[in-house]
Chains A and B, each alone.
Chain A
Amino acid sequence: MAAHRCGLSLVCILIFSSLAHPSSCDTLEKANDNTAEKRSISEVNTDGSVAGEALNERQWQSTDAEVDRSDSTTHSEALTPAAARDEFQEELVIRPLHSGDIYASFQFRTLWDTDFLQEGQKVSHYRLFPKSLGQVLSKFSVRELHISFTQGFWRTMQWGQPFIPSPPGAELWVWFHDTVSDVDGNWKELTNVLSGIFCASLNFIDLTNTVQPSASFKPLGLGNATDHRFLRYATLPREIVCTENLTPWKKLLPCGSKAGLAVLMKSEKLFHSSFHSQAVHIRPICQDEQCSSKAWELRQTLNVVFDLHTSGQGKKEWSLFKMFSRTLTEACPLASSSKVYVDITDNPEGELFELSPATPLLGQAVVLGDRRTYSVYDLSRAETFGQLRSFNLLLRWKGDSGDMLRPLLHAERYVAGFGLQTGEIHTVIYNNHPYRAFPVLLMDSVPWYLQLYIHTLTVTSKSRDNKPSYIHYQPAKDRHRPHLLEMLIQLPPHSMTEVTVQFERALLKWTEYTPDPNHGFYVGSSVVSALVPSMVAMRTNFTQDQPLFSSFVPVKEESSYFVRVYTEPLLVNLPTPDFSMPYNVICLTCTVVAVGYGSFYNLLTRTFQVDEPSPPLSKRLANLIRRMRGVPLLT
């Protein structure tokens, strides 16, 4: 025990000293050096040719060169010390959107080949992986955990598909290990613990808003579990995301917000945006193509859409400083790779915008069924920061951007009807593919106080009835569980499919209303999951050098890619009782019941008698005196 503690403190000292004096510490840097070394080898060649030829000529750096990868695996196996089998990568993707907004997506990935779920073995030595999450994983036997906090709504029609979609509010879905016997109990505890970790109201997740989707949420990591008894899914559409959620999220990063890309996350700028979404995804994945060893992946993502168009006084230009009021000065020293990507697909010849500083590195990635070209800035190289030791990316628009390709899949939702008695939920799903039909899975989780009538469900495409080939419906139980409706719908090419279902609004107990009941009640987004036919061949093979944003969802086949689309959450008004009346109502109703009881009691217990009026008071007094005197009484 003493030796163990000694070792632990030694490691702590090593970590601290490595943070304080990076040059003097050799054990930690070794891993980084290895990867950096091999990267620089591959890039020196291209750089050399850049120097030899014209300055502006672009060189293509293959992001998944076969040779490099086989090199790197053998290198890392040979050189990485056995103790440090974890690595950390960070990247920032910036995509100028056609609407004039800027989409910035941070991705941080920590990989660790340990096993939290192994029996009898307690993982106690943490290096890059946050201990708070690791303990949660092992305590609750979590196989996969996905949590997202989103402020604002992602406008698919204007912005295209996000790299990792998320619904407004908080979303949490967890696959538990199949050895868990009391899944509901674990889920309850887990939500409470996560609520503490992320300073969010996840403790409001209970059985009334938890569902077990049968098909929509498959594990994204290793293993193809199909038993949805171990899956729990819940959303809190009303959750408001703010600084207090961002701070704990940043603390999970190995470098915190002290170094690396996380320096840019200044909350007053991040939350002054059209869309903000932060997420944590934990899953087991394969470490290499053969899947010989398993690793836990912690992926922290933060997506922001800045509306610089309106705040920039009509000037369409942005820079890192303008967006985040910070510039980059260094990569996170613990990161094995730290890169900034800027999407320049629409700007192949530099006629639309101009990037400065220019980069000689270009990358290509196939993401969401589209081949995109990126300018790559590698922060682990000193020359990225230039003379000023600070990296401020600047983009100046030259012309107007063209039309955006409409996203192939798109969905929206609204409530129809008037009054507070009934209503109808309309979900409209668009397939914008010109000639391919494809199936989508639609999942709806509706709270119990909106009583759905499944016999009123209609699905119409091109004004014709489109019968879903699979329906999984679980009706709600009052105050116990929500409705769950899952359908597999075939979307005809270039069509609009409308799904409608009627509901009835319930009157709740007065204590069940939210503090502002006339604001209405939120109903979480519907989830549309689909394998959308891809325009270009997707990469199904496993490559380690893929940019992080393109490698989140595993690709099973080349011809299609997985997309999840969240619709708007609904705001539904319910009839309300008068909240100031409980005493009055109790009194009045009890009075009426008492009137009933009293009148029956009266008739039941009394009998009819002839009314003999009592003699007047004077006569009674006189009789009293007469009785005392012994004189006959008056009649």
Chain B
Amino acid sequence: MAAPLTLLLIVAVTIRAVLFRSSWAELISERVEVVSPLNAWKRVVEGLALLDLGVSPYSGDVFHEVSLSLIHFLFKSILGSDGITAVALYLSIQTYNKNVFRKQKYALESDRYPADCLELLRSPKEMFYIPLKVAMFYLLNPFTILSCVAKSTCGLNNAIIALFILCTLKGSALLSGILLALATYQSIYPLTLFAPALLFFLQRLYIPVNLRRSSFWFFTLQYAFIYVGSLVVITGLSFFLLGSWDFIPSVYGFIFSVPDLTPNIGLFWYFFAEMFEHFRLFFICVFQINVFFYTIPLSIKLKEHPVFLIFMQIAIISIFKSYPTVGDVALYMAFLPAWSHLYRFLRNIFLVSCVLLACSALFPVLWHLWIYAGSANSNFYYAITLLFNFGQILLVSDYFYAYLRREHHLTHGLYLKKKDGTEATLVLK
């Protein structure tokens, strides 16, 4: 399997290198869909220029990246970060598939599946290419390519999250906690990935999720300690490197209070540009809570399936976060091949994929009409962002539905019968 992955990497690097050399690179790096105020490379360069002038980069409102010194050293690795992400995702999904297959085998041996669901079970043959497909979905996704060519630091965030997933699936609680802290430190939202990681470790160590059991609390506190400890260490380190706490309001305050209303693919910008002043605080709270809100109910519902929970959380973050870019979308889309066995239960995948494709094409068109040609106004671009987010929500909830339905079939049988023996339809009640 190493050879196709290497080939894939070479192809991906070639595409990026060609785009870098072309005149498109500058155009792409200015696109609002690809870069946000949080991760634009232009702003990183500006932050470095400010440092050169002896001005704190956080004294202004141009630079909102935490780890300036880190990026300083890693700035070449932004290009490499896509490769790291892809390999990490590849290895994670490989591990995950092995786990799934092992569990499925135990269940089969203990005869837990109804007789008619054998066709729902996953075969090693179809699972074999899934890790490669995941890597391919990430590396060759136009969203990732654009994001990489624009030198958006979103690639770094994705790499850290992918490494976190890999470490979690490999069972290293220490590394997983540290990487999660790093991801949180960068953009606060990955905080919600704490729950699925914890659930995964508990499951892996056969600790039941029971609030009365001391072993549950022992491990939870241990993991939380690793996480919070490394978060404190990282924050303290950046304090010592920068010599001030300026970065806290400049980064996290900026993420939470959404002062920059530059258009992007998210829901925040136009909403808060048009918001009545006395409702602003209320709606900012509502919209930010909305991102974190789903963690607890989803963890309860999906406590047996932490990896799917990770996917759901990443998708929700990238839809509802305050400054989303296409790079964030690309990360959760890379997981889609891992759920290819849900395909038969998806209800409107055709519609959703059409919507997403059409929106991706219309973003630059309507942007041009609004900003450059002056023949459209902001509503046009806003309409497309609405539709794009609507499509994403449909996509994610469709996968969620399909996952739940498959689990239901795995326990109750595929061909359900009514009381009178006719074929039954499943409904949510």
Contact = CB atoms under 8 A, between A and B. Distances in A.
Contact of B378 (A421, A473, A577): A577
B46 A453 contact: yes
B249 to A, nearest CB: 10
B397 A599 contact: yes
Given A475-B62, A507-B263, A606-B429, A586 B274 contact: yes
A604 B403 CA distance: 12
Interface in B276-299: 276-277, 287, 290, 294, 297-298
Contacts of A612: 418-419
Interface stretch (A257-265, A325-333, A587-595): A587-595
Interface in A551-596: 575-578, 581-582, 585-586, 588-589, 592-593, 595-596
B50 A600 contact: no
Contacts of B263: 507, 575
Nearest to A573: B374
A474 to B, nearest CB: 7
Interface residues of B, number: 65
B26 to A, nearest CB: 11
A79 B424 CA distance: 118
A181 interface: no
Interface stretch (B157-165, B195-203, B264-272): B264-272
B428 A603 contact: yes
Nearest to B271: A589
B270 A577 contact: yes
Where chain A touches its partner, the secondary structure class is: mixed
A546 B355 CA distance: 79
B341 interface: no
Contact of B424 (A476, A582, A607, A611): A611
A618 interface: no
B401 A589 contact: no
B378 A454 contact: no
Contacts of A506: 260-262
Given A473-B53, A595-B393, A585 B46 contact: no
A55 interface: no
A611 B320 contact: no
Interface stretch (A44-52, A107-115, A396-404, A508-516): A508-516
Contacts of B274: 510, 577-578, 581-582, 585-586
Contacts of A596: 319-320, 389, 393, 397
Contacts of A455: 45-46, 48-49
Interface in B229-264: 259-263
Contacts of B287: 593
A423 to B, nearest CB: 12
Contacts of A509: 261, 272-273, 275, 277
B297 A604 contact: yes
B150 to A, nearest CB: 14
Contacts of A606: 428-429
Given A475-B61, A506-B261, A575-B378, A454 B271 contact: no
A511 B261 CA distance: 13
A435 interface: no
Contacts of A592: 267, 386, 389-390, 393
B55 to A, nearest CB: 6
Contacts of B372: 418-421
Given A577-B270, A578-B379, A585-B271, A478 B259 contact: yes
A479 B258 CA distance: 12
Contacts of B50: 454, 473, 475
Interface string A21-50: 000000000000000000000000000000
Given A506-B260, A509-B275, A610-B426, A473 B390 contact: no
Interface in B392-429: 393-394, 397, 400-401, 404-405, 408, 412, 416, 418-419, 424-429
B221 interface: no
B75 interface: no
Contacts of B382: 585
B14 interface: no
B155 to A, nearest CB: 21
Contact of B301 (A419, A504, A604, A609): A604
A207 to B, nearest CB: 14
A419 B371 contact: yes
Interface in A523-554: none
Nearest to A457: B49
A422 interface: yes
Contacts of B290: 593, 597
Q: Looking at B261, B319, B425, which has the most chain A CB atoms within 10 Å of its CB? A: B261
A154 interface: no
Contacts of B62: 451, 453, 475
Contacts of A508: 261, 273
A225 interface: no
Contacts of B45: 455
B53 A471 contact: yes
A509 B280 CA distance: 11
A634 to B, nearest CB: 14
B59 A585 contact: no
A414 B378 CA distance: 26
Contacts of B216: none
Contacts of A504: 262
B60 A593 contact: no
Interface in A339-363: none
B377 interface: yes
B259 A479 contact: yes
Contact of A608 (B48, B275, B405): B405
A473 B50 CA distance: 8
A475 B397 CA distance: 43
A448 B259 CA distance: 12
Contact of B377 (A422, A479, A578): A578
Contacts of A607: 408, 428-429
Contacts of A510: 273-274
Contact of B429 (A419, A451, A581, A609): A609
Contact of B400 (A575, A603, A608): A603
Contacts of B377: 576, 578
A608 B379 contact: no
A479 B277 CA distance: 14
B20 interface: no
Contacts of A576: 377-378
A603 B397 contact: yes
Contacts of A418: 372
B370 interface: yes
A477 B53 CA distance: 17
A600 to B, nearest CB: 6
A474 B53 CA distance: 10
B379 to A, nearest CB: 5
A455 B42 CA distance: 9
Contacts of A469: none
A603 B404 contact: yes
B30 A476 contact: no
A508 B272 CA distance: 9
A602 interface: yes
B294 A582 contact: no
Interface in B358-399: 370-372, 377-379, 382, 386, 389-390, 393-394, 397
Given A473-B55, A588-B386, 20 more contacts: A421-B30, A454-B46, A454-B49, A455-B49, A504-B262, A509-B261, A577-B274, A578-B377, A581-B379, A582-B276, A585-B271, A589-B386, A592-B393, A593-B267, A603-B401, A604-B298, A607-B408, A608-B405, A609-B426, A611-B427
10 contacts: A422-B30, A451-B62, A454-B50, A474-B55, A475-B59, A577-B274, A599-B397, A608-B427, A610-B425, A611-B424
Q: Which 3 A-B pairs have the closest CB atoms?
A: A475-B60, A455-B49, A599-B397
Interface of B: 30, 32, 42, 45-46, 48-50, 53, 55, 59-62, 259-263, 267, 269-277, 287, 290, 294, 297-298, 301, 319-320, 370-372, 377-379, 382, 386, 389-390, 393-394, 397, 400-401, 404-405, 408, 412, 416, 418-419, 424-429
